[in-house]
Every structure is written in C-alpha cells, then in structure tokens.
Amino acid sequence: MPPLYAQQKKCLQCKNTFQKKVTCSKKEWETARFCSKKCSNESRRGKKMPWLEKHNFTKGQKAWNRGKPGKSGKDNPAWKEKPSYMTVHKWLQSKATKRGYCQNCKRQGATHWANISGVYTRNIEEYRELCPRCHIKLDRYDFHLSRETIAESPKVWQKSNP
C-alpha cells in the first residue's frame, strides 16, 4: 500500500487525478469519486432524483400551503400560557417599536425593554423602554425610581399591522 500522502484517484467527472487530503478519513477516501463538490454536482445534473419521484412534483407547482395564513397567537400549537423570559422578549420585539430614548429620564441612546410589574406575561402595557441605568435601578428597587412612577410614564408604542 502506498503512503497516505501519495494516494491518488481519478475524478469520474473531469478525469483529473486528485490526492487524498490529510483531513479525509479512510472511509471517506474509499467512497470518494470526485475531486471537488463542483464535479460532484455536475455529475448529477440532468439525472432523475428517485426520492422526489414519489411526490409527483411538477415544475412551477405551488406549495399546498402557499398563500394560507399561518397560525399565530393562541391558535399556534406551540403557544404556552407561561412563556419563558426569552420568549416574552422576542414577542415584545415583534409587537413594539423602540424609539431610542428612556421613558423615565428621556436620555437618548441604547434602551432595554423593562418589565414594570415583575411578572413576565404577554401584556404590552407592562413594559417600558428604559436606558440601562434606569433599568438597573428599577430591577434593584432603588428608592429614586419606583415601579409606580415608571407605570405612570407613557405606554409602549405598538407596531402598526401592515
């Protein structure tokens, strides 16, 4: 058997010789027939794919669910009554628009969605856009910023539905 670095094969597509790569395992090398993915893809061009024949797809055929509205909200089978922290924040990002300033101190810049009730629910009225500084104060129950004063600040801006 020749040394590993000198193993060569002939590509079935372009007929060039190619060497075994250092990262290629024995098993991979035994089944290798093409020098590159490009040659591998070209060898399949125009050939029938047996795994697609049982589906009877035709060119230009529309998908069965194209144009049908998706299930959202409580109609969705993945809906949970008690969502996780990340789920609530992703939901909030899709439903509300950030304005780029703190609703408490009116400072412009980076903002966070802060939960003012302490209970994570899908109620948009329970969130305010706060700068990181005010958000930390709120979460630590600082005496300068109470949950009641935040609750009185303007409501969250909802995204308009297209």
Per run of 10 residues, the mean pLDDT along the chain (length 162 residues) is 69 92 88 91 83 73 82 82 85 86 88 83 86 84 54 53 44
Contact 122, 83 (CB under 8 A): yes
- Across 56-94, b (16+ Cβ under 10 Å) vs e yields eeeeeeeeeeeeeeeeeeeeeeeeeeeeeeeebbeebee
pLDDT of residue 154: 54
Query: Per DSSP, what are the bridge partners of residue 18?
Result: 9
- What pLDDT is stored for residue 162 in this prediction? 43
**Which position has the token pair 């529309």?**
62
Residue 25 neighbours by CB under 8 Å, 6+ apart: none
Q: Which pLDDT does position 21 carry in this prediction? A: 85
Is pTM beyond 0.95? Reply is no
d(CA 104, CA 150) in angstroms, rounded, equals 7
